[in-house]
Structure formats: structure tokens, C-alpha cells
Amino acid sequence: MAAQPRRNRVSDPDMSSPHIRKPVSVQREMFTVLLALVPGITAYVWQIGAGILVNLVLASLTALAAEALVLKLRARPVAITVTDGSALVTAWLVVLALPSIVPWWLTVLAVLVAIVGAKHLYGGIGQNPFNPAMAAYCAMIVAYPALMSQWPAIGNTDFTTQWHLILGGERAIDGLTGATALDAMRTGLRGHTDVTSILSSSAFGFVGGRGWEWIALGHLLGGLFLLATRTISWRQPLSFIIGLGLTASVFWLIAPERFPSPLFHLASGGAMLAAFFILTDPVTSSTTPRGKLIFAVGVGIIAWFVRTFGAYPEGIAFGVLLMNLCVPLIDRSTQPATFGQRKEKRP
Amino acid sequence: MSLPHLFRFPGGIQPDAHKKESSEQPIRPVPLPARLAVPLVQSSQGSARTIVTVGDKVLKGQCIGEAEGNAGTAIHAPTSGRVTEIGRYPMAHPSGLDTLAIVIEPDGEERWIAREPLDMASASHEELILRVQASGIVGMGGAAFPSHIKANSKIDTLIINGAECEPWISCDDRLMRERSADIVTGARILRRLTGARRVLIGIEDNKPEAITAMKLVVQAAADDGGEISVITVPTRYPTGGQKQLIRVLTGFEIASNQRSSSFGVQCFNVGTAHAVCRALVHGEAMVSRVVTVTGNVEHPGNYEVLLGTAVADLIELCVAKPGTERTLMGGPLMGFTLPRLDAPITKSSNCIIAASNTLFPPAPPEQPCIRCGSCAQSCPTGLLPFELYWSSRAKNYDGAVHYNISECIECGCCAYVCPAHIPLVDYFRFAKSEIRARNQEKRAADQARARFEARSARLERDKAEKAARLTAKAAETRAALAANKDAATDANDAALIAAAVARTQAQSQAQPPASGQNGGATPPEPSI
Ligand code: SF4
Ligand code: SF4
């Protein structure tokens, strides 16, 4: 009756503890994130037009194909990683960061930069230091500044026109493209117009860019859903909002005619998308609790400075990449104290 | 009465409890098995020395192994019968290695040896401590630390651990519901031994019946100077870990290199307190314990199991259902898969789980770590498990040490929450054993070097002494020659000197310089 002794081995997880696991998986987390992007995308289609859906399909297919190919070349298990959903999340974020009327090849290129360059050249999921979507955005804005600054004009949601632009059609037609709120604000301020008169222009809505503020609201809703399902930590969104909001507040209080309000900053550009979807990327954010706070506050502050004084209207992507660079340092200096070494011995 | 202030420990998880499967039936006896194999090693600190021989008749509770040394604890015959064998039996351990055990064939009469309760009023402290040791009492929560050592320290706060935080296990729950009076009596004795000012009995809030039962006993006899309180603690694994419970109840955080007694705190499991009461008040040595048998079995529940009963006997009694793939000892978070079912129940075996793939699904394939930090958020020790994982995987053991791998208590919280399904604890166990091996090698090398250096020094010293002796001798010879100058011829003189020189040379050749050979790779044999 005595069974043969079977030794536990490192590679035999069925034999050693723990014998139970929480029902969580990378795949589940990624698809929850995709679901949370739906409100923002819906608002996008409603306000700007359905052109973005073309980009989403195109980017998704490119991402999956690129991911599968690279994994195969690197002799890694293909099926389990391609289906984990992380490539799709990257692809959707790239699309949401780009103007939705960029020609199709720019979308494809951006996704390739994200998946092949920013993710796999560094060793694949878990190893990449830079947020792939933000790296792709920055590469594109540096390489194609003109295309990257042509945003669809609000009020012109005609799908045929957008389809035509995506296919690479003639772009120099008036009324097809328009300035974003951040653009208008920057140009206006450079021209020494004061904030109040800039805000009265047609590019602006209630608090941010006309139309765009609804998209921001959609992303905020999606973000709250991610918080409610505990898919993301509250640390990055909150501290990013504080970092950007507080910096904006300080300058706005000093000179309200020269600096727009914190609310404007938070409702414009990619602030909400970044707060809930970009900064919370587990791989490239800081991993320690205090590190997450520092990381996101840093992005918020840098974003404000680039938006206000930099060469590009939107500064979040640069903020993210810069803070990505600092993550190893942040992680190292915020290593939590272990049990028994913590300060809060007896409150 | 004001609510006690409770403290938090970092991390922790809240898995499904699965207590009801086994906790709703009273503790039941187990029919006498055909034989009982009682291992000599029952405590974490020492072993027992056999004092019976094959063929001896023994009575239930009779000492069959004496405590070896100060830290050892005695073992006793779990029933009356005959010693049939003293041989090697498999241990209840993940390795499945053998250990020495005394095998007893029951005579079916369950005849106790004369029980000698201590007169608590007159017994001295030393008598009580000796009796705890002689009754073979060790921590029953799993660590099996000898209780007489812990009970022999002077402290302020005595903690009785009834948290029972691991899923599926309910033996402490049942014990508290059914034998609360004995537990509280045991706690009182332990308080007397340790001189504790207060006794805190911590129970997780998912055991309301146990809490009520314990409170009833404590309130019924609120007498002997000093407070005993039953404290309800939130259900969160691993609250039942000794250091975690101490943190929750007292606020003290005890680091891995510190002892709780230096904070004036000592912690005993409820089962241990119960055993102390049985031993001192009723004169019954530790011969059985309550074991939860649960999981994929027809009759889950708690059983009063004689020590030495084979796990297989329990599984047979409770009838494993089809689909049982393996058998766990302990809970699903820290327990291990039993390599063989003929391993006997020991004083620290609290739970047996028949595991099917439905109840305990096999691990999904391991995916790359996405650095999500969930593991760090769940770690009760405040470690960064993913850093430990990256270091361990890269065999960068210095990195693992930097991230405090030695502090890891292998509680399994990190692996439980990991969305990439990485068997983190397996990596840590492996890295720890590698680090241990490396440290041992280093220590051995250090010792060898120290030995070698000591020997070289000794040889040097011997050589120097010998040279000094020879010089002295040569001087003596010369002096003698000088004294005999008149009588001796020059030729004689020369011959004597030549002989002395030759002797010196011969000796120095027989004893080569110690440091000379091959850079010291092979230490020279010492010359006499
Ligand atoms: S929980 Fe798993 S995937 Fe997440 S950081 Fe820890 S080890 Fe990596
Ligand atoms: S097993 Fe170790 S690293 Fe993992 S949670 Fe427990 S103490 Fe922390």
C-alpha cells in the first residue's frame, strides 16, 4: 500500500503550496481594461465620428499579427501571450492617442513601433521600461509633426470624409481638420491673447475642448469602473490628477489671464485617458505603493510644463516616458520596510 | 466594555473559507487502527529517547520515549498494547523521508496508566514546567515548538491563538465549541507559569459559535486577578500566524530575527492550552489530537485521532470520493502534498484534505510577470515578491537576499493573487535552499581555511621551536667542546661539529616549510 515516495520539485506546482488561487488572470485584467475603454470610444464616435472604429480594427489586427510573429521569431509560446489581451490594449491606446484621421499607414506604423519596438525589443511583456503606446505616440509626433497635429474638426462627423482621409486622401481642405483645445490655447497665449477671450472661441466647450470633454468624461467613467473592479490602483489616477491639477492651480491663481484653470487641463487632451489607462499600466509604472504616487505626480507636473512651455501642445506622453526612465530609481528608493522594521510599530 | 483596539498587519488575503464542510459535526472518535507508529521526533527542537523494547506491554499514556535534553519532549503510548517494532517509518513531511518510530499494536482495551493530576495549589513552578515537558506538549498549531520552553519565560501578555485562518481547517473551531472550559483552564495555567498580566484569546469573526462558547466560560469564572478576554479579530489570512496575531492584538511587530518574549508576549494555540489542561489537571499525557478531515470525502469532519494513526486510515474512515488526486496535510495555503499515505499523524498535524481537481484545480500555465504589484500588496511581510521572483529566476541570489528573501514566511498570499499564475513560493523555496547551501559551503570553506591557517601557524611555531632547541643544543655542544679543549683533539672537535650540523640539516629537510607547497592547495601533513 505504501506509495512510492514522490518528491516535490520546483517545477511541480500541483505538489506544493499554495494549492488554491484567486480567480484572476492577466487575460481577465486586460479584457476588463478593454471594456472600460468602451464609454470613451462611444463618446468619441458620437462627438467626432466613426472614423476611429476603422483605426481600432486596423490597429487590433496589426497588433495581434505583429505580436504573434515576434513571439514565433523569439521562440516563445505564441497562443497564451497573443490571447492575453495585452497587445489589444496597447493597440487601442495607440489609436486613442493619435488623431483619428491619420492615414492608415501611420496607425500601422505606430502600432508596430509600440509592439515590436517598445515591447518586444526589450524582452516582451513585463520587461519593457517604456509605455508602448506613449513611446509610439512620441515617435510619431517627432517623425510626422504635421500629420500628428491635424485633428478632426468638431461638428464634421461625416464618415465618408474620415474614411477618405484615413485612406490617405487630400488633407488640405478647409473645415476638415481643426485645432484641439490645447492647440488653440497654446497658439492664443503665444499671441498674447488672454485666457478668457481664447476660451470664447468655438474650439471650447464647458470646461475643455468642445466635444473632447465628453470623451474625457467617458474615460473617467471607464476609469471609475476599473477602480470599482479593483483592476487598477487608485494611486496613479489620484496622484496624477493632483500633480497636474495642483501645478495648474498654482499658476492659475497667480495669473488667471495667462494660465488656464486646472479644470481645463484635466478635461483637455489625454488627461483622463492617461490617468486611468496609461499611468496604470502595470509593467511600466512603479511597483511600490509610494513609488506609484511619485511616478504619477511626476507625470502630472511634467505634462503641465510641456503643455505650457514646450514645443508640443500635449505633454503627457513625454511626461510618461521621462518618468518611465526614473522607475528603477523610484522603485529602489521606495522599497517598503518589512514587517518588524516598519515605523508604525505602535500607533 | 469598550471594544479592544485592533491593529493591522500589511497585506493578507480573503479566500473562500470552506469551513462549514467540516465544522458542523461534533468531534468524533476514530476506531482503533491495527497499529500506531509514533515517531520519536515530535517537536521542532528535539527528539525523544526510546525507553521501551520490542515485545513490551504498554498502557495508554505510558511514557515510551523520554525527553532528550532540555528542548526534547517525551512521547507516550497512544493506547494500551504491545510494542511490535522500533523502526523507520515515513514522516509526514513533503520529503517523504523516513524517521525512527515506535510501533504499537493495540490490545483494544484502551487501558490508561495511572493518571496523576497535579495539585495545582501546592505544585511549584518547576514541577509544572517539568510536567509540561514530561507530558510531551508541543505547539499544536503547526510549528511544534516545545511548550515547556515557551511557558518558562516571564511575560506581560499571553495570547491564545484561536484564529484558525487557513481555509478548510476547523479543528480549533470545534475544540473551542466543545472544550472551551479546558482551554480556558489551560490558559490560566499558562498565565500562572508565565506571570502574564493579561490573556488575550484571539478568534476570527467567522467562528461565532466558538466565540460565544469561549466568552461564556471566561465570563462564568471572572475570578483570579488578571483579565482574560476573548477578542474577535477580522477574518483575513494569515491572521493565525503567530506574529500576525500578535500584531493584531497588541500592536507589536516582531521582526524575523526577534523573539516575541522580548516584547513580553507569548503565543499558544488553543489546542496547546487544552493539552496543558489535560496534562496537569487530569494527568493525561498528549496521546491524541483533533484532526480535520475534509475535502473530497464522504464524511468530512473533526476526529479525535490517536497519534501514530496512518493518514490512510483516516482517509479510509472518511471515504475518499472518486476524483481524489492527492492528499494534503495542513491547509491549502501552507500545507503540502503527502508523498505517502502511510505517514502517521503527529502532534502538529491539524488537517487532512482529500484534493480533487475540481476542488483544487491544477495550476494554470505560468505566464510572464507583468509587474502588477498585486503580490506586494498581499504580502503580510511587506516584501516585493516580484523582485524576489526576478532575482530567484535569474539565480541572482544576492538580489534575493537584498530583497529580504529570508523574511518570507511562505504563506502563499503572493502566489494566490498572482494574475500570471506564477508559482512564486516554489521559486522562493528553491532560492532559499540554494542560498542555504551556498552559505553552508561558504561556512565550510571558511572553516577549512581557518583550520588550514591554524595548522600552518602551528607548524611554523613547531619549526621555530625546534630550530631554537637545535641552536641551544649546538651552543651546548660547543661549550662542552670548549670545556674539553685540552682533552680533545682538533679532529674530534671537527667531527662533533660536523655531526651536529648534519643533524640540523636532516631535521630541517624532514620538515619542509609549511607555506611552501603549491600555494597551500594541499595542506602539508604535520610532522611529529
Ligand atoms: S502578482 Fe504576479 S504578475 Fe503581478 S507583479 Fe507579482 S509576480 Fe508579477
Ligand atoms: S510567501 Fe513570502 S513573499 Fe509571498 S506573500 Fe508570503 S511572505 Fe510574502
Write out chain B residues lying below 8 Å of A15, CB-based. Answer: 94, 326, 336-337
Instruction: Specify whether the backbone of B308 is left (phi greater than 0), alpha (psi in -120 to 50) or beta.
Output: left
Report pTM: 0.82
Per-residue pLDDT at B393 exceeds 60: yes
Question: Is B180 an interface residue toward A (CB < 8 Å)?
Answer: no
Within chain B, what is the greatest distance between any pair of CA atoms? Answer: 114
Per-residue pLDDT at B352 exceeds 70: yes
Per-residue pLDDT at B493 exceeds 60: no
Domains, chain B, ordered by start: 20-107+127-329 (3.40.50.11540), 366-480 (no CATH)
Per-residue pLDDT at B482 exceeds 90: no
B226 falls in which pLDDT band (50, 70, 90)? low
Cα of B446 vs its chain's centroid, Å: 27
Average pLDDT over residues A252-257: 88
Chain B (456-515) residues lying within 8 Å, Cβ to Cβ, of chain A: none
Per-residue pLDDT at A91 exceeds 60: yes
Asked if residue B423 lies in contact with residue A20, where contact means CB atoms within 8 angstroms, the answer is: no
Whether residue A282 has a cis bond before it, omega within 30° of 0: no
The per-residue pLDDT for A36 is 97
The per-residue pLDDT for A177 is 65
CA dihedral of B18, B24, B27, B28, whole degrees rounded to 10: -100
A139 falls in which pLDDT band (50, 70, 90)? very high
Per-residue pLDDT at B23 exceeds 70: yes
B515 falls in which pLDDT band (50, 70, 90)? very low
Task: Using a pLDDT cut of 70, give the percent of chain B over it.
Answer: 90
Contacts of A57 (CB under 8 A, 6+ apart): none
The per-residue pLDDT for A8 is 36
- Least confident piece of the model among A180-189, B66-75, B76-85, B319-328: A180-189
Is the minimum distance from the CB of B379 to ligand 2 under 6 angstroms? yes
Contact B9/A283, CB-based, under 8 Å? no
A11 falls in which pLDDT band (50, 70, 90)? very low
**Nearest-CB residue to A339 (from B355, B382, B429):** B382
The per-residue pLDDT for B514 is 41
Distances (CA, A) of B490 to B408, B479, B498, B504: 84, 15, 12, 21
Smallest CA separation from ligand 1 atom 7, residue: B386
**Between these two residues, A287 and B479, which has the higher pLDDT value?**
A287
Per-residue pLDDT at B486 exceeds 70: no
Smallest CA separation from ligand 2 atom 7, residue: B408
Domains, chain A, ordered by start: 26-331 (1.10.3430)
Average pLDDT over residues A261-271: 87
Q: Rounded to the nearest whole angstrom, what is the distance from the C-alpha of residue B436 to the centroid of ligand 2? A: 18
Q: Which residue of A has its CA nearest to B427?
A: A10
Residue A177: CB atoms within 10 Å: 17
What SS3 class is residue B29? strand
B450 falls in which pLDDT band (50, 70, 90)? confident
pLDDT in tens, B44-97: 777 889 999 999 999 999 999 998 888 888 999 999 999 999 999 888 888 778
Asked if residue B145 lies in contact with residue B254, where contact means CB atoms within 8 angstroms, the answer is: no
Contacts of A327 (CB under 8 A, 6+ apart): A129, A284, A285, A286, A291, A295
User: At CA B14, angle to CA B10 and CA B16, rounded to 5?
Assistant: 165
CA dihedral of A37, A39, A40, A45, whole degrees rounded to 10: 120
pLDDT in tens, A275-302: 999 999 989 999 888 999 999 999 999 9
Asked if residue A131 lies in contact with residue A321, where contact means CB atoms within 8 angstroms, the answer is: yes
The per-residue pLDDT for A100 is 86
Asked if residue A247 lies in contact with residue A286, where contact means CB atoms within 8 angstroms, the answer is: no
**Nearest-CB residue to B256 (from A17, A86, A340):** A340
Average pLDDT score, chain B: 87
User: At CA B277, angle to CA B315 and CA B245, rounded to 5?
Assistant: 75
Q: How far is B368 from chain A (nearest CA, A)?
A: 7
Q: How far apart are CA B417 and CA B13, in angstroms?
A: 8
Q: What are the backbone dihedrals phi and psi of residue B41, each rounded to the nearest 5 degrees, phi first?
A: -90, 115
Per-residue pLDDT at B418 exceeds 90: yes
Residue bearing cell 498580566: B197
Half-sphere exposure of A60 (CA within 13 A, CB side): 12
Q: Rounded to the nearest whole angstrom, what is the distance from the C-alpha of residue A331 to the centroid of ligand 1? A: 15
Cell matching residue A16: 506544493
Contact B384/A335, CB-based, under 8 Å? yes
Q: How far apart are CA A120 and CA A112, in angstroms?
A: 10
Per-residue pLDDT at B479 exceeds 80: no
Per-residue pLDDT at B3 exceeds 70: no
**Between these two residues, A163 and B18, which has the higher pLDDT value?**
B18
The per-residue pLDDT for A132 is 95
Is the minimum distance from the CB of B389 to ligand 1 under 6 angstroms? yes
